[in-house]
Structure formats: structure tokens, C-alpha cells
Amino acid sequence: MDQSRRSFLKTTGAGIALFTVAPRTAFGKMGGDNHFIAPSDQLTRGVIGVGGIGNSSSHFVSDQNCRLVAMCDVDSEHLSKTLQRAKDTFGETPKAYTDWRDLVHDPDIDIVHIATPPHWHALMACEAANAGKDIFCEKPMTRTIGEGKRVREAVKRNGSIFRLNTWFRFKDTFYGLGTNVKPLKKLVDSGLLGWPLTVRISGATGFAWKFYWTGKENLIPEPVPACLDYDMWLGPAPFKPYNRHRTHSTFRGYWDYDGGGLGDMGQHYIDPVQYFLGKDEDFPVKVEIDAPQQHPDAIGIWRSITYTYADGCKIILEGEGYESKGKVPYIEGPLGKVYQGFECTIPYVMDIINELPDPEPTNTDFLECVRTRRPFSLNEDNGYHSATIVNMGVCALRLGRNLEFDPKKQLFINDDAANLLVDQPMRGEWGKLLK
Amino acid sequence: MKKIFTLILATLALSFALQAQDARQRSVETIVGDVVAQMPAQTAEALASDMLDLAKAAPESVIQLAAMLQSPEMGANNRIEYAINGLTNFAATPGNQAWKPAVKEGLKQAAALCTDPVNKQFLESQLWLLGTPDNTVVTAPIDSKVLRKSATSQEKCEALYLKERMLGVVPEKDILKAITDKSRTVRGTALRRYAPPTEAFAAKVAKKFKRLGTEGKVDVLNWLGDNKIESQLPLILGQFGSVKDIASAAIEAAGKIGGDEAADALIGQLGGENGAAALKALKSFPGDLKEKVAAALGNASGQGRSNLLALAGSKGMTNAAEQIFALAAEGDPGAIQALPGIAKSTDIGRLANLLDKAKEADVPGFAKGFAAALKTLSPAEKYDHVIKIIEGARHPERFFPALALSGTDEAVNDLVEAANAGSPEAVKALGKTGNYKAAPALLAAGRAGNLTALKDYVSFVDRFEKDVDRKCNALTDALAATKDTDLLKNFLAKLGNTPTSKAFAVAGSYLGNPDTEVAVAAAQAAKNIAAKCVDDLDATTKANVLGKAIQAFQARGTADDGYAVDEIKKMLAETQAGSPIFTLSDEERKAGFEMLFDGTNLDKWAGNKEGYRITNNEIYVTSGYGNGGNLYTEKEYRDFVFRFEFSFVRPGANNGVGVRTPHGVDAAYGGMCEVQVLDHDDPIYAGWLKDYQVHGSVYGVIPAKRIKHKPLGEWSCEEIRVQGDHITVTVNGEVIVDGDIREACQGHNVAPDGSNMNPYTVDHHNHPGMFNEKGYIGFLGHGPGVKFRNVRVLDLTPAAKGKKR
């Protein structure tokens, strides 16, 4: 047995005592029919990270379909507060963990919900898959392209079901469009707009890039609050002295943990585009940026990021304050344009769209996917593709230059520095978990 | 043009300075200092040019930069980090390999010298970026035990995965075995990941179908549908009569595969217990169903009929229009719902009739159908049709929404009239006209308490009013008309997009609102307005309102609010009060001073007037400053008294006054001298700034007495007096330089031996321009963040006295 993959060495960074490697049988393999089955086929969920999205109203759910049975956080205040909230809301107190590996290997849990900052996503998803769990992962899927590849492998290898949590490809009004993505998908599929298409994700087309997710330079080290296990918060990220702005609600401003507004909103905005362009199995071949120089730690702003596919389709992101002036189309093709609010140069486009067949249905009920073992609509495969688009942009910004990408190898072309960013080292022992 | 950055490693400094001078005769320390002052670069071009300078001076430049890194406690390393990371990225850029070894070497040495662990790690991370990637996605070795045992479902999945890795593809017999496994995880994984989606393999799977349990059958049917295995359609259609789960899966699969046979079978299911599943499948059915649906409608009844109607309506099957109209006239709810999908302009008459006569409960349905029938007409045609219908209608108000849809001025007038006569339907309809002329009536209704009308009013204003002042007034009216907190929040958000001084005051007046969310909305609006106000905001008002805005954000206290507070504080710190227009004092006038900049214009100046821009009656060195060069007096001077006021806006700001300098050279060397202008109190300069680099110094030649600058944003007065070789610099009344430049270097402005190393000047550089007879006076900026005002000069040149140039 490959110990490094299966086991979970409890050493990280600053000299924590070594824990005995738990025998695999202690946790068993809980996949599929051997899942712990609560009364009435109820599924069970454990959430890692309860200070932010994990504590949001849409996720703070425990019902007869799926019971919230455990939670984990490295901030004892977040943990105790949320436990109390669970007790008040659901009438039972979930199990509390401070080390996510204990939650992942808890045999009573079917679904591991990863609601931590992105620098943890890959490690947790891989370990959860290896523990035979299904995974509900918040966006962005992973912090690097290489981590995305590993999550795919682990999920495939263990027969897990993986959901990436953004949803605009299958439901909800899609920002500036004023409708969901379905009519767009039908319109694009119909060919009425021609080909190739250019999609502009911009304030001018109804999308905000949230530039308040920028980091601060010159962070002065501060004492770590007693309630926070900062070493465990950092985990695989390089050690940097604590400053409150790095953690909790402002972590998105630092390259070590996320990708700023692009990291936060990128997959929300880009994944549906990938879907309606029919690029779920494709990657852009080029990313071009226009941005001020980026600080190596604190994420700054950018003016534009342009992705180009081999067939000429483009996705253009326009930064806040750098939007195209005047009326610009959200989608532009040689035969037609679609503007904000679904205004279209094709007359009576909605009637035409109505008459077209709906897009092929996908599986949009995650719990049903867990029960029937069917892939969720947005899963580790298409999710990896859209996360890679985001991460291509991150690499280009960090390096301050345009990059070319090889969709086959899923690496940048003849560019060592960019490919170093594809597979970044993890601190201490954490890297071993991913192998 | 400051070469303010020098080296802590003094021993290294000298040797590098001697070896590495660039085309502009700059030493490494100068290059490093110049680049650091430009950090972060705003454009790719600026970055590339800065980094090329550094790369040419590597490895010394890297070592010098690294030596400038201070303890993180100082919070002052950002520009150094920008520079080093920029250089690393530059050296790692394909095509720049030539620079890589020197940069790498510099980083290695710097990391070895670095004692601070945080900085050391930063340097090592940069070194890593110049390494060679290993992009193999490492997978664990193949575990034969898993293959042999495969006891649990997870192990069985893993066994398939490993076989694929070993053999390239998983043998069919293994897949078939997995498909019949008792674990759904194993079956699902085998089908999704490993089963070849071919007709041939599907035939093998089909042979196993009978022996599968319900779930197993569902899994296989899903797989057949997902992969559109047409040859298995008979098997799929044969399952429609099965138990619900199997039937539903079969229906979904048939819908994905498509074709005539599947369409007929699915339409046949619309009336039964699979009706909902069949309807869903038909909505996404790949193919034209018009004829089939119309034909089926003829014989259908009950659930089957309503599903067919829903399908016909949602897919716009106008060929079934007659059947649908007939049923709608009978009051069939499914048919009424289908009307909007199939109504054409030729149906206007009969739809009007149906709407007018409809039971109250059916009115919304028929109204939708009627509106749909109008949609291809022009606005005028819409109006004409509807107004005629209204004139003869029993229930005219039922046609108000359609009238509104025309959006014409006539429609607005008619609806206003009806509204004035007391029709609530007319008010509602006015909100749907999309015609700004409806606004006054909506506002009036809003003032009378109709919140929907008020909301419509604001949405019209937001949509149509392009004049920012009028828009602000309109929003102010709307705000005054309501106390509803949701509306106030909404309106204040829109007010935030009208950046005028009035809007700022209005937003300010809601900061004391007892509702926290309203107060925060007002704070947000005030912040947005202040950020891009088209008016000059009175400084006191601005500070006052934004101070209250901070309190509102803090009272709510979410993470975003914290950001907003930071933003406002930054804004307040950068707020400029603006300066008066200056005139010469009596004393100056008598003495013969000339005003060079009084706050109004740069007429007496030449050079970079883009980067030196008049803002608030001040010369502000803008963030656009960069490659545009310096600002020079129009005239040349030999002896003079130069008076001005300066103020630092950003910490560490760096500029200088060039004396007797030609255009376009580094005045510190090519001119007589440069008198340093520098916020030397900024911690970034702590510990290493040379005495000949502090504010007021005759750069590199005569050190100034170090003063403590006033706080950022406050003004200081400076006088530079130049007579022959004598220079006196006075700041805020204190003389900080009083010396003879020729004496200071013992007459050796350049090294007597012709080398670059001049032992007579304190910076050991040559100053070839030092003895220029005359030249321009200039502001020599290096980056934004400093401003000047009230600039005067007295020409002391004997020849100039009493004689016009």
C-alpha cells in the first residue's frame, strides 16, 4: 500500500508531534453501497470551514435528505459559534473537529463539504476521495492547474462524486443577462450568431470583478489570536507572518490562497461561458493580460484579461474601471450580438429560441447524484476546465506577461516559470498527501 | 532624478559602482534607486524597460535590492519586492534567457546574505521561479493487492483505474463485470469512466440487461442515453411500461437519442403516469415535433392534452393554433397558457374579444396572449389597434397593459388621464410604458403612497435620465417621497452613481437614518460619489460626511464594511483642500520677482505638462508621470532666487529642482546641480539614506542639514538662491545648505584622471555640468505624490537686469 497517499502524517510545519499512521482498515472504505446509511436513506455531510461560505444560509442546512453531522474549523471561535447555531437551528450538535483529516476519515460522513480558502481545496478533495467520500467543493475548484489535475485523478480513481459549487450553467439569473444561461446556450448552439464568438465579461455587460478583493502590501506581523491555529490555517501555503488581513474574510487578496476578484468570481462567470461555447473539453490556447505590475504577495487590479481558443473564440474580462465605453455586446459573433439584458441584434430572438429544443438535460440534484452515482452537472472534469481558465489568468498576472497554453499537455508552451506555477510546492509534509 | 538609494553593503557598493554603469552613465545604485522609485510599473512596457535596466546590472542590482529589504516589522518592503519579483519574472521570460544566470546568481548570493527569515524565504521563492518545472502528475504505484482483493466498492473502482493505467484500456470483461456489480458506485464508475460508448459494446451490455436489478437497469439506461446509443432504442422504448424509476430513465434516454420512433413513443406517454417525464424529454428533444404534436392534439384529452398544449405553447407551434384557440375559448387553462407562445398579429381581434369577455380568473392569461399577438407591430400600430379596442371594450382596463406596451406618447397621455380619473390599473400600466414622459405621473402616484409607482419612477430615471444633475434632482425627489427602507436603499444606491456635490449632500442627510441598512446604503453612496465626484467637494463637508459614513459602516461591521472604511480613510488622507491663486508680495514685487506659477496656468513653463498637471491650483506630479520628462522654466537663468511651496501627498515622494540645466539630461550631473526634494522621513529610507541625498542637498555634492518634514499634505516654503558657485537653500525659514559648489569638490567636478571614479565629490561621481554658465530651472520628478505651488523667481543675472531678453 502506498503509505503517503493513504496515510495522513500529522506533521505540518512547526514541529507538531508525529501521529501514528492510522491503518486503512480503521476507517474502512466507505464508498457506494457501503456508505453509512442513516435511517430513511438519509445522507450525511461534514463541512470544513464554517467561518465564511460554510456558514452561509444556503449551506447551513440539515434536513432529512442530508444531515449535517460534523464540522471543522481552525478558528475555535468560528467553530463554537457555528456549533451553537447548529444546535439552535437543528436541535442537535454536530461533531466538532479541529483537524480536517479527522473529519474526512469519520466513517459517519458521506459527503465532505469543502468551504475553506482555495489553497486547501485540492488536498482536502483528494484526501476525501481517497477516504471514499463524495465531495461538495466551493469555487474556485483549485488554486493551481496542477492541483486540478490531481483532484480529477483522485475522484476518478476512487469512484467519488464531485460537485463544484457554482451553478449558473444550470440555474439562476446569470448576472447581466437577466435570464438564466439556457436561452443563451440554445442561441449559441443554433449557430444564429455565427462563429467564432467573443464573450465580454465586464462591468459594461453586467459583471463586477470585485476589485475590493485586493491584498495589502507591507503587512506588519501581528500576534496570532489565541483562537486561531494559524499553522493549520496556512497548511500547504508558504509560511508568512500572521496579519489579520491574510485570513478570514480578506484572504482572497493574496496569491498564496486565492486569486482576488478573478479567483472569487472567475469561475462563477466563466464556467457558464465555457458551457454555452461548448468548450467543456477544451482549453484556451492563449491568455493575454493588460495590468499594472503585480506584487508577489498581495493581489492587485488588472485592466483586461483575454483568452483565445484555437478556433478563434475569445473570452475577454474587463477590470473594474477599465470597461469598454459605450454599448458593448456580451456575446459578439459574425452574424449577431447579444447585449446586457438579453438585447439581441436578431429580431424576435426569444421566439426563435423558444422554438429550439432545450439543451440536453444534466444532473443538477447533487444528493440525487450521490445516490445514483451519476456525474453532477458541474463536476471535477468541466470544473477543472473552467478553473484552469481562471488559473491561466492568475499565472499570466503573476508573471506580468502573455502566455500560450497547450490544451493537450495542459501546460504552458516553452515557459518554465509559467509551468512552475502550474505545479507549486506545498509546505512541509502537505505535498505528500497529493501524490 | 534621484539616485537616492545606496547600499548598505558599502564595501560592495564601490566596486559595483565602478564596474556597472549604463549608457546614461548611471551607477548600479542609481539604476536600482530609479527603478525602485518607479515600482510598481503601470504598464508592460514600463515594466520591461525598468527590468532591462536591472537585468543589465545583475547580479549586483539584485544584491543591492535585497540589501534594501528591511525587517517586515517596518512594513516598508513593497517596492523592493516589486522590483525583485519583476526582475525574476523578466529573467524567466522566454527570450530573456541571457539574463537568467546573472539574476539567479544575484538571488543566490542575496539569499545567502539575508538574515531575516521572511525576506530570505521571499528571495528563495524568487529563486524557485527561475528553476525548472516538474509537471508530472505523480500517481501512486500500482498496488497489486488492490487488484487481487478488490473487496470494497472503492477498491473495485480503484482496480479499474489501475488496470487502465497498466493496460491503456480496461478489458471489456472487467467492465462488464463491474456493470453488473452489486455496488452502484462500481456500476456508475464503470459506465461513466471506462465503458466504450460504442454500438458493439452496448450490445454486450444489453445482453446483461435482463439480469440487472432496478438500479442496475436505470444505470444502463442512463448510460445509453448519455452516449446516444441509437441501436439500443428498442430496448429503451421497451422499458416505458416498467416500474417508475426504470421508465423515467428510459424516457430520459429516448429524449436524448431522438428520432421519429422515440418521438412517437414519448408523445404516447404524455397522458399517462410518465407524462411529466415525457414532457421534459420532449422539450429538449433534438428534432421538429410540430406535426406530430398537432396530430396528437386532435385525439387527446385530460393530462395528455394539457401536456401537449404546454409543449405546443412553449415551442411556439403555430400550426396547432386553431385547436388551441378553440380550447382556450372553452376556458381550457392549458390552452390559455399556450396562447402567448402561438399568438400572431392576425389573432389580435379574436384575442381582444376573448380577453374582454374572459372570466376574471382567466384575464391574466388572455392578457398575456393578447400582448404576444401585438409584439411584431410597430409602436404606432400597437397603439392604434389597442386604442380602437379600448373604445369598444366592456373592460377597457384589461387592455391598459397592452396599451402601455406600445410605449407611445399618446399611450402615456391616455393612461395619465385614466390615472387622474382614479384608475389604479392605469398607474400600474404607466410603469410598463418604458416612456420617460410617464415619470411625472408615476412620481405623483408615488408621493400619494403608491410604492410600486415610485419604484417604477426611479427605474425610469435610472434608465433614461442622462444628465447627471437632473438625475440627482429626480432621485432626491423620490427619496423625499418615501420612508420605506427597501426603497430608500435602492434609491440611495442609484444616487451613488450621480457624482455631484448635491448628491453628496443628499446622501449625507441619510447617514443618520435609524435603519442600519439605509445608513450603510447612504454611506456607500457618499463613498462612491466622493470617489468620482465631478464637482470639487468642499473639504470640510467632505470630511464631515465621510466621517459619518465611516460610523455607519462600522455600525454594521461586516468584512465588506471594513473594506469600505479603509477606502474612505484612504480617500480622506488623499483629500486636497485646494490652493488660492497667489500674487507676489509687495517686497517681492519691489525686488523684481516674477510669478512663474500662481495656480492658474503653466504658460511660463515648457516640457512635460501632462505629467505635471494643474490640480486644485497646484502643480501635481500625476501618477501618469513616467517617461514624459521634466518640467522646465521657459527662460534660462544664471543667478537667481527661486521660491516655491511644496507638499508631499504620498510617503517617500521624490523630486528635485534642477539648476542651470539643459533639457532632457540628468540635472544632477548634466546641469549645475540638482537640489533634492524628498520625503526622507518615510521609513523606506531609514538607515541607509546618504546625507547628500536628504531633502535640500545639492545632490551628490553638498549635504543639507536634515530637517523633519511637515506631515503629508501640509505645505512647506523653500527658497533656492544661486549666485556664481554659491548655493543657499532655505526651507521654512531655516537655512539648510549654504555652500560653494566649486569649493565642495575642490574644483574637480570630474575626476582628474578621466575615470568614472571622482574622489572629490561626495558621491564619487563626475558632475560634468557643474560649471554650466546658465540653464533652465526644472522640476525633476520621479513618480507621483508631490505637488508645488506659488512658484516665483528673481533673475539676478547682471545682464538680465533692466534688459529684456
Q: Which amino acid is present at B756?
A: N
pLDDT of residue B783: 65
pLDDT of residue B676: 95
pLDDT of residue A53: 76
Q: Which amino acid is present at B741?
A: I
- CA distance to partner chain B, nearest, from residue A104 (Å): 15
> Residues of A with CB below 8 A from B128's CB?
420, 425
Average pLDDT over residues A97-109: 97
Strands in A337-339's sheet, in edge-to-edge order, are: A343-344, A337-339, A331-332, A198-201, A314-318, A304-308, A286-290, A403-406, A411-412
Between CA A129 and CA A287 the distance in angstroms is 32
Closest CA to B157 of A32, A24, A358, A269: A32
Between CA B529 and CA B518 the distance in angstroms is 16
Cis peptide before A140 (omega within 30 of 0): yes
Question: What mean pLDDT is reported for chain A?
Answer: 89
**DSSP code for B447:** H
Relative orientation angle of helices B290-299 and B321-329, to the nearest 10 degrees: 40
- The answer to whether residue A31 scores a pLDDT higher than 60 is no
A32:B186 CB<8 A: yes
pLDDT of residue A25: 31
Q: Which amino acid is present at A147?
A: E
Q: Does A23 touch chain B (CB under 8 A)?
A: no
- Percent of chain A clearing pLDDT 90 (strictly above): 77
Residue numbers of chain B with a pLDDT score lower than 50:
1-21, 623-627, 802-805
Q: What is the pLDDT of residues A275-334, one digit of tens each?
A: 999 999 999 999 999 999 999 999 999 999 999 999 999 999 999 989 998 899 999 999
**Cell numbers describing residue A133:** 467520500
Question: What mean pLDDT is reported for chain B?
Answer: 90
Between CA A320 and CA A209 the distance in angstroms is 6
Residue A274 vs residue B137, higher pLDDT = A274
pLDDT of residue B572: 84
Could you tell me the pLDDT band of residue A175, with boundaries at 50, 70 and 90? Answer: confident
**Cell numbers describing residue B690:** 546618504
**Cell numbers describing residue A368:** 440525487
- CA distance to partner chain B, nearest, from residue A359 (Å): 6
Between CA B322 and CA B626 the distance in angstroms is 73
Closest CA to B417 of B441, B395, B437, B385: B441
**What's the distance, Cα to Cα, between the start and end of chain A in Å?**
13
Q: Does A286 touch chain B (CB under 8 A)?
A: no
Q: What is the pLDDT of residues B780-794, one digit of tens each?
A: 876 667 889 999 999
- CA distance to partner chain A, nearest, from residue B142 (Å): 9
| C-alpha of A249 from chain center | 16
Provide the 3-class DSSP secondary structure of residue A428.
coil
pLDDT of residue B543: 87
pLDDT of residue A36: 43
Note the ipTM here.
0.90
pLDDT of residue B531: 86
Average pLDDT over residues A136-160: 96
- CA distance to partner chain B, nearest, from residue A151 (Å): 11
Q: Which residues of B68-100 are buried (b: 16+ CB within 10 A; e: fewer)?
A: bbbebeebbbbbbbbbbbbbbbbbbbeebeebb
Choose the closest CB to B137 out of A150, A416, A420. A150
Closest CA to A424 of A259, A246, A229: A259
- The answer to whether residue A362 scores a pLDDT higher than 60 is yes
CA angle at A91 for the pair A90 and A95, rounded to the nearest 5° = 85
Residue B514: how many other CB atoms lie within 10 Å: 7
Between CA B133 and CA B135 the distance in angstroms is 6
Could you tell me the pLDDT band of residue A382, with boundaries at 50, 70 and 90? Answer: very high
Q: With the C-alpha atoms ordered A235, A240, A241, A242, is the resulting torsion angle positive or negative?
A: negative
Q: Does A287 touch chain B (CB under 8 A)?
A: no
- The answer to whether residue A2 scores a pLDDT higher than 50 is no
Q: Does A208 touch chain B (CB under 8 A)?
A: no
**DSSP code for B97:** G
The residues, ordered by sequence, that sit 6+ positions from B487 with a Cβ below 8 Å of its Cβ are B451, B454, B455, B458, B478
pLDDT of residue B804: 41
pLDDT of residue B536: 56
Please compute, for residue B39, the number of CA atoms within 13 A of its CA located in the half-sphere on the CB side: 27
Between CA A343 and CA B137 the distance in angstroms is 45
| C-alpha of A207 from chain center | 18
A31:B185 CB<8 A: yes
Between CA B124 and CA B128 the distance in angstroms is 6
Q: What is the pLDDT of residues A187-206, one digit of tens each?
A: 999 999 999 999 999 999 99
Length of chain A: 435
B78:A300 CB<8 A: no
**DSSP code for B784:** S
Between CA A270 and CA A268 the distance in angstroms is 6
**Cell numbers describing residue A17:** 508531534
**Do strands A337-339 and A331-332 pair parallel, antiparallel, or not at all (unpaired)?**
antiparallel
pLDDT of residue B535: 54
Between CA B560 and CA B440 the distance in angstroms is 37
Between CA B646 and CA B634 the distance in angstroms is 20
> Residues of B with CB below 8 A from A241's CB?
72, 118
Between CA B33 and CA A257 the distance in angstroms is 32
**Do strands B673-678 and B716-723 pair parallel, antiparallel, or not at all (unpaired)?**
unpaired
Rounded to 5 degrees, what are φ and ψ at B154? -65, -40
Q: What is the pLDDT of residues B98-116, one digit of tens each?
A: 999 999 999 999 999 999 9
E strand intervals along B370-492: none
Average pLDDT over residues A234-244: 96
Between CA A205 and CA A328 the distance in angstroms is 7
A296:B81 CB<8 A: yes
- Given the C-alpha cell 488622507, which residue does it identify? B573
Q: What is the pLDDT of residues B532-554, one digit of tens each?
A: 866 556 677 788 999 999 999 98
Between CA B444 and CA B422 the distance in angstroms is 12
